[in-house]
Structure formats: structure tokens, C-alpha cells
Structure 1
Amino acid sequence: MYAPPAWPATLGSGGYEAGWTVRRHYGDYAGWLAGQSDELMRARRDEAELNFRRVGITFAVYGDQDAGAADTERLIPFDLIPRIIPADEWERLERGLVQRVTALNRFIHDVYHAQEILRAGVVPAGQVLNNSQYRPIMQGLAVPNQIYAHIAGIDLVRAGNAQGAGEYHVLEDNLRVPSGVSYMLENRKMMMRLFPDLFSRYPVAPVAHYPDLLLETLRDASPGKSAHPTVVVLTPGMYNSAYFEHAFLAQQMGVELVEGQDLFVQNGFVHMRTTRGPQRVDVIYRRVDDDFLDPEVFRPDSTLGCAGLMAAQRAGHVAICNGVGTGVADDKSIYPYVPKMIEFYLGEQPILNNVPTWLCRDADDLKYVLAHLEELVVKEVHGAGGYGMLIGPAASADEIGRFRQAVLADPGNYIAQPTLSLSTCPTYVESGIAPRHIDLRPFVLSGQQVRMVPGGLTRVALQEGSLVVNSSQGGGTKDTWVLEA
């Protein structure tokens, strides 16, 4: 068994095989880490924090009762120890992600057109047509390439032996406005700055070309025939929690970052105001939720979008990415049916499995969930950011009691899943190097073809024993290294 002093033998499956030996693809890194002093690592951590703060890589915290106004902008903690994925492992993940996102796009197109999967009874029609994320205005509307989720963030977890001997499972599909890719890119830049020698030891696959792939994907969605379609990033503004990412991606792609007031619709076409006069817009990469996009169709009081956007799209004069109504496919009550979607549309068995899920809208599932609340993770179907969730084993009796009443009051608003024995990865914390639970969010781009950069955003639960990796709940991030074959 090999466990260098700087890398304790008590760490989890992220870096170790059963029996606490270092996994093969971590071997060189473990040897390198053993030679680094604690003083050097602390200095590098301080340097990373200083640079992230200078660049302005922050996120907003909403509704934090303990934070003053000055504390609502926070850095996402960055961990110095990378998560390493060998080439063969990534190859399977990539095939599974391409398969899944292809099926999800087929599903969204189907429910807004022929609805074959509903008529076949594979997915209950009521769960789709009565879903709060279903947008009737999209019914029958043709979109370029029949793609709705141009950018998908698929959350993966690696379960312990009880749930599949180290197999990756899909925990959640994010298809509306998935965020976090800017942290993936900045984490890599920071690691290359702090530890350049490591990248000569390891054949780490690059991720820096993501903005180029994203721009190409967005241009593929253009409904016009222009060889150089105009793409913009639509942001709710600087007070949005992901504003740094909006500005970062616009800058990296070399396109304009706009707010709703910068756009107007005239004669069925969308234009942006510029110092040289109006300029037609072909593709809008929107980071604004459906309800705020067009006050003529959705919320009339919204100032975040632009009146007439949906009419311009229906006329075939602009593309909105991700498409309006994609949320019907990433609802947590639809998630259990994705494996059936893969079989229905592609005629294939899923490469990546779901986490077992109970739908509280089902009477038998509800009975089981209520009898086992202290063992399960219970989530709101539209919840995000780690909010609206009960982790039974870590909850008090009072918390379980309150959640029981909430589930009974509105069963259709909740799902439940087993408390997974998530894998851990060595993480640099105040006490030194210790295991912390992690997940992985690869970003899948769908244009003329489905593709992605190798890796994704690894999120880490920095609190000891915690299973919640969300930044809003105190989580951090790591660089993700996919090794080239």
C-alpha cells in the first residue's frame, strides 16, 4: 500500500482503490504532492484567492440572513488538488453524455410537436402538459436543427460500492440556463499558473477551446443564411449571481453582452442598439429564465427581456439558446423517465444510469418515502442550488417533521432518492489534506454535432461529511483533469 505522508491513507475513492492504495492514474501526482511543503501549498492557495478576487470571479448569495450587504458577493473556494479522470473512463462518460443529451433534445422536440412518447404512454402526458415548465407557445414552432438544449450541464456522481461499485450515475440534467463553465476554465488557468511543471508530467486534455466550440454551436443555431451570424449573450444584469460568467463568456467569444434594454424588435427582426446604429441579431444566448424573456408573452412586468422576442422567433428571424420550454425536460419529476427516452428514441440501452428515484405523486412511492424520510434525500422538483432539499440522515427530528408536512401538502412537488455513498477526492483544507465528497458537471454542446471539452466542473463539499456541493451552500470547485490516451 502506498500512502505518502502528505496524502493520508484515510482518503476516499477519488484517489484510492479499495484497500487504500493510490489509484494508478494518481500515482505520479501523489509522488509530486508528497514533496510539497505545507508552507508552499498555503502560499499557492492564498495566491489563487488573491487572483480570483482581482479578476472578480464571484457569485451572489441571495437571501443570506447572516450576511450583510457587503458580503453577498463571495468567492467560490478553489481547491488546489485536481480531480483526475483516466482516458478510458472519460471515453465511456462522453459516449453516455452524448447519448443522453441527444435523447433529451429528441424528447423536447417531440413534446412540442407529434407527442409520440406521450401517446405511447412512455411518459405520462399529464406530467408534461401540466408541468409548470411546459410552454404551449412552443407547440408546433420549428427550431433550427430541432435542437432546444444547445448547452447542457449534466451532473454526475460516482457512488460507492453499495450503489454500483464506483459507477457514475446521472444525478440531474440542467437544460435551461446551466452555469459554471467559467469556473471550469478559470480553474484550469489558475492551476497552470500555480503549478506549470505538473502539466509536463501529465498529458492533461485541454479545455481552453470551449468558448470557440460554444460560439460555433450558437452560430449553428442561426435561422438565417448569413455566413457570419451575429450572436449576443443576454444577461439579467450585474446583480445576477452568474453575471461574471455571462460577461466572461461574451468576452471569450468576442460577442456583445447585452441586457433587455439593449434590444428591440422591428418588422419582426431583433436588433441591438450600438453606437453605429441598430444591428440585427441572429442568435441570442440567453441567461434569462423563460418567464422574463418577453413581457408580451410571459411576465408583463419584466424589464429583463425584450418585447416581441417570441414573435421574432416564430417568424424564423432569431434563435434563442437554450430554447424556451427546455425546462420541461430537466424537471426532477421527468428525470426518472430519461432512460426510457433513450430506449424510445434511440433504440439503445442507457450507458449512464440514473439514481433510483421515488416520485411522491405516486401513492405507493409516497408511502415508501414517508416511511423512510430519515434515510432519503428529498428534493423539490423545481429546486436548485441545494435549496428545498432534505438530507434525511443529517436532518433533525424537527426538520424531518416539517418536511413530512410539506410533502403531504403537495406530493407532486417532491421526489426522493437514496442517500448515495458518494466518492471522495483528496482536498486541501485548513487541517491539511482530507477527503471531501465531489460531483462532476460536464458541459455538452449540441449544434451540427454533439460534443464537449474533456472534463467539466468538479464541485466539492468542503464541510466534512457534507454531501451538498453547491456554491450557495458552502461548496468549492476543483480543476478536472482528463488524461489523454
Structure 2
Amino acid sequence: MLTNYKVGEFFDEMIGKSGEPRNHYQWFYQLVHQFSEQELKEKHETAQLSFLRQGITFTVYNHTGSTERTMPFDFVPIIIPDTKWEKVKKGMKQRMSALNHFLSDVYHDQNIVKDGIVPAELIEQNPYYYHKQVGGVDIPLDNHIFLAGIDLIKDENGDYRVLEDNLRNPSGMSYVFQNRYVMRQVYPELFFQHSIETLEQQFSELHQAVISHVPKNANPSKPPAAVLLTPGMYNSAYYDHVFLAQQMGIELVEGRDLIVKDDIVYMKTIRGLKRVDIIYRRIDDDFLDPEAFRPDSALGVSGLLNAYRKGNVSILNGIGNGVADDKAMYAYVPDMIRYYLDEEPIIPNVETYFLRDPEQMEYVLEHLDKLVVKNVGASGGYDMLIGPHAEESERELFRKKIIESPSQYIAQPTIKLSRAPAYQDGKFYPCHVDLRVFVMNGETTHVMPGGLSRVALKEGSLVVNSSQGGGGKDTWILAEGGQANA
């Protein structure tokens, strides 16, 4: 069934330019040929039904309302040899260290601004910069980033590049575990003879990272109490919240379940109030505390910021992390690595044009048909132009947007995003992929093996986001030789 598969001009994860499978995919390639067409169809349908039965969904919002969907799943895994993965791990730890230094710096001394590395206006005009609320606040472990989701792509040479940093509320970790669960249930043959890094210890790592952020004034005679704060069941990532809270063994709460008394946070229980030390929040900064941010917020907890400032509660991820992960600041991360760590970036960025620079804006406006344009504050594939695939009317619309608000947009070359085989509608065809790597920070930094491989299931599409029709794949870190039981 793979005989008609065409690699084309893109780097293919599975098939080399010669048309032969890459060494670490040889066994998988041979195994797929043992399945009949009917067996593959049945397994594919069983996998999709497994997601539906377990309620593994996300919500897509548009002008007509909201729709509940399951994440489309593709059974062809992304396989990464552990020698290649070692470089990814080192690159992720390096990047997290520099970004954490940056966040600590911008909310304290701002030396990176004084030394002319990052322009002051990029920080001061950033809508996610909350110096008034948390400037000068010392936090546990001096760690602003408890969990990061870093999006990687491979270019035409098969080399990794960082596409985006997600340091506020990165979602998708639950899908990593569910992808693996479904693969084991539906395709057990794939796991019999190969040493694939397991995910069993990852919840322990995540929980350990959470409870290591003990606030300064916690009761030393009691173990720290942690909760996961969700906006509620109507949030698009609610399944993610429920799953992670269950697996870590911490309470899932909404704002109405918490109360602040004398600058200490408590959870309401049937046995009375119970002190809360650590809040892993999945609510945006603006909605956390109506006294400090949006007064119309019904999702947050009044008085929470005062408790945070006084060292009575920890909030993960840190308030104001958005100043470090918007698409305009992204271009300066390599400079942060050099400035704070005195090292060269292990995994480079994608080249980026700043449209607030008149020369760069002029270049971009002349080459809109060759570039990708992104809104620095948007996510999920929204308000984005993929120039080569766009109609002239779409390019004209973005031309006007850029001229009206140049600082609101960046542009990047259209990378020849790597591809991998996907099995949909009874056939294999090449689809573009990226990889979200999850990095947990506590007393140590830990990179989850694999991560969430996202795939643009629509043929020819470059957009992998689930809200835009993308799906997921299991991601395997394969030990060299890999002939032991997984």
C-alpha cells in the first residue's frame, strides 16, 4: 500500500530520497506490508472509536458557535532515534533556562533591556506584561515556567527548528498519553519487539514538578496541597484539565471552589475549608483575580494576587509569562541564550521578519506570496496568512492589516515543513507534521520523551492545529538497535 507513496521535495520522516525506508523505520515499513487493506481499515476505525468512547474531545469555536470534536488520530507513528532525541532534550533545557532567566530579569532589574539586547518597547507595550501586578515578586525556585510546550519543525534538510514557545497554558499533554494508549490497544503488534521509551513515569515527574513549588509561607508541618484550577467544562481544553488532575491525584477546582481569607487561599470542602498552597492554573492571567485584573471575571478568585504576592500561594505557570512567548519576542530568544547562558543555541529559530521595522515591512509587503504572516497575539492557526496557498484577496486583506498595525504581525519564510505518511480514507499519503515537546521545570528540568506530533491531515495543508482540521500521531523515542520489549 506504500508503493505509490511519493516523497517529493520535502524531508520525509519515514522514506528517504531513494524511496527506501529510513533505518529506524525499516521494521515498521515491513510490518505495515503484512496487514491487509481490510485489517488497516478496521484498525483505523477502531482507533477513532476509542477516542470517541473515552470522551477525548476539544471544542472548536467559530462565528456559528462551538462544536465538540474528537482529535483525528493517525496510526503511523513519528519515530525518533534516541541519539537524535538527546540533542532535542539539550536544546529544550537550554531554551527553558534562558527564557526563565529572561522572565526573572524583566520582572526585576531588566538588565537585558539596559544592555540593549531586547528593545524596551517590546516589553512595555506587550499586552501580557504585568509588571504593576507582579513586578519585584520573588517566587519559589525563581521559576516562572513550570510547564512549557515548545513547537518544533524539521526543515528540508531534516534539521529541527523552533517554531513557537508556549509558556502560559500549553495544552495537549493528555493527548500524548491517549495516543499511546490507543496505539497499544489497537496496534499491539508494533510494540512487541522494539524498545520504545515508556510514558509511565511522566505523571510522577509532572506531580513532582508541581509540588516542588512550595510557597515561602506554607505550613512546614504539612505536605503541600496542590489543585488544578480550570475555567470549567465549556473550555476547549477541559478534557486536558480533567485528565491531568486525575492522573496527578490533585483536586480539579473552579474559581467558585476557592476563597481567600487573610491573604491565604482555601478550598471549600464538605468538611470545611482546606488550605491550598499551589495552584496549577489553566485560566488566563486576565481572569485570575477580578480585584487585580478584569473586574468582570467570574472565573477567578478575589484576593488571589495578594496571597501570591505575600508568598502564601504559588501559581503555575507564573503570572505574566506571556511577555516571553509572544511571536515578536520569539526572535530574541537566541540572543537571550547568548546573553544569560553564554552559549550558542542548540536548536535554532525559524528566520523572522519584524514588520515594525520599515525595511523589513517593505520586503514582506513585496513578497507576501512567498511568506507566512502571523498575528503576534493569536494562536491555534487563527489570523494567519500562508502566502503561497492564499488567494490574492486574502493577501490584500493582510497587506491592509500590516500597514494599519505593523507591530501586531511578524512574517517568516515558508519552511518546507517535513512530512510523514498518514493513513486516512483507506490510503497512505504524505502530510506535514510538527512536534510539541513538553518541558517540566521543578527542582530539576525534565523533558517528556516524545511529545505531541501534530499532522495536517488535509492533503497539501500546512496547518497542523486541531482547531483547523489537524490530527495527532504517537511519538516514539526508539533506543538504538531497539530489539528489547517495550
Deviation, 1:42, is: 1.3
Name the amino acid aligned to 2:385: L
Q: What TM-score do you get using the length of structure 2 for normalisation?
A: 0.96
1:413 and 2:412 correspond: no
Answer yes or no: is 1:241 the counterpart of 2:236.
yes
Match of 2:183 among 176, 188, 191: 191
How far is 1:432 from its partner? 0.4
Unaligned runs of 5+ in 1: none
Cα deviation, residue 207, structure 1:
1.6
Could you list the per-position Cα deviations for residues 214-233 of structure 1 after superposition, in whole angstroms to 9, with x for gaps in the alignment?
11001011113356211100
Describe the SS at the equivalent of 1:451. Answer: strand
Structure 2 equivalent of residue 383 of structure 1: 378
Deviation of 1:264 (Å): 0.4
Paired with 2:3 and 2:202, the residues of 1 have a C-alpha distance of: 32
CA–CA distance in structure 1, aligned partners of residues 315 and 221 of structure 2? 16
Equivalence map 1:398-437=2 (5 Å) = 398-437=393-432
Q: Name the SS for the 1:178 alignment partner.
A: coil
Give, in angstroms, the shift of residue 9 of structure 1: 4.3
SS in 1 for 2:472: strand
**Is the counterpart of residue 200 in structure 1 residue 192 in structure 2?**
yes
> Which letter maps to 2:194?
Y
Note the C-alpha offset of 1:452.
1.8
Query: Deviations along 1:58-85, whole A, 9 cap, x unmatched?
Result: 11111153xx76xx10011000111100
Look up the equivalent residue of 1:24 and give its one-letter code: N
Residue aligning to 1:57: 56
1:206–1:453 CA contact under 8 A, matched in 2: no
The correspondence for 1:346, drawn from 314, 318, 341, is 341
The one-letter code of the counterpart of 1:47 is T
Matched residues in 1 for 2:441 and 2:111: separation?
22
Q: What residue in structure 2 maps to residue 31 of structure 1?
A: 30
Q: CA RMSD in A?
A: 1.1
Partner of 1:150: 146
Contact 2:41 2:426 in 1 (8 A): no
How far residue 484 of structure 1 moved from its aligned partner, in angstroms, is 2.3
Q: Which amino acid aligns with 2:24?
A: H
**Distance across 1 between alignment mates of 2:298 and 2:308:** 19
Does 1:171 find its partner at 2:170? no
1: CA distance between counterparts of 2:344 and 2:235?
A: 39
Contact residue 7 and residue 433 of structure 1 kept, 8 A: no
* Greater shift in the superposed pair: 472-481 or 194-203: 194-203
2:76 corresponds, among 62, 77, 81, to: 81
Deviation at 1:44, TM superposition (A): 1.2
SS in structure 2 of the partner of residue 353 of structure 1? coil
How far does residue 212 in structure 1 lie from its aligned partner after superposition? 1.3
Distance 2:357 2:221 in 1: 50
Letter in 2 for 1:286: R
Contact 2:454 2:472 in 1 (8 A): yes
Aligned to 2:311: 316
In 1, the alpha carbon distance for the partners of 2:223 and 2:427 equals 51
1:397 match: 392
Task: Look up the equivalent residue of 1:198 and give its one-letter code.
Answer: L
Partner residue, 2:483: none
* 1:43 equivalent in structure 2: 42
In 2, Cα distance between the equivalents of 1:337 and 1:29? 40
- Provide the rounded CA distance (Å) in 2 between the counterparts of 1:264 and 1:319: 15
Shift of 1:54: 1.3
Secondary structure in 2 matching 1:22: coil
Q: Secondary structure at the match of 1:393?
A: helix
Deviations 1:366-399 (A, max 9, x none): 1111111111000000110000100000000100
Q: Is the 8 A contact 1:7 1:34 kept in 2?
A: no
SS in structure 2 opposite 1:400?
A: helix
Distance (Å, rounded) in 2 between the aligned partners of 1:209 and 1:467: 33
What one-letter code is carried by the residue in structure 2 that aligns with 1:43?
Answer: E
SS in structure 1 at match of 2:374: strand
Confirm or deny: 8 A CA contact 1:235 1:246 kept in the other structure. yes
Structure 2: distance between partners of 1:442 and 1:56:
24
Whether the aligned pair in 2 keeps the contact of 1:185 and 1:208 (CA below 8 Å) is: no
Question: 1: distance between equivalents of 2:2 and 2:134?
Answer: 56
Summarize deviations over 1:153-194 as a string: whole Å, max 9, x none.
00000011xxxx211000000000000000011000110111
Aligned equivalents of 1:100, 1:447: Cα separation in 2: 15
**Separation in 2, partners of 1:288, 1:61:** 18
Is the alpha carbon distance of 1:226 and 1:170 closer, same or farther for their aligned partners in structure 2, counting shifts above 3 Å?
farther
Conservation of the 8 A alpha-carbon contact between 1:7 and 1:33: no
Give me the whole-angstrom Cα distance separating, in 2, the residues matched to 1:6 and 1:336.
39
Aligned residues: 473
For 1:13, the equivalent position in structure 2 comes to 12
How far 1:19 moved relative to its partner? 2.1
1:361 aligns with 2:356: yes
- By how many angstroms is 1:37 displaced? 1.2
Work out whether residues 92 and 447 of structure 2, in 8 Å CA contact, stay in contact via their aligned partners in 1. Answer: no
1:181 aligns with 173
Between the aligned residues of both structures, percent identity stands at: 49
Q: Take 1:227 and 1:95, find their aligned partners in 2: how far apart are those partners?
A: 36
Instruction: Say if 2:37 and 2:426, in contact at 8 Å, map to a contact too.
Output: no
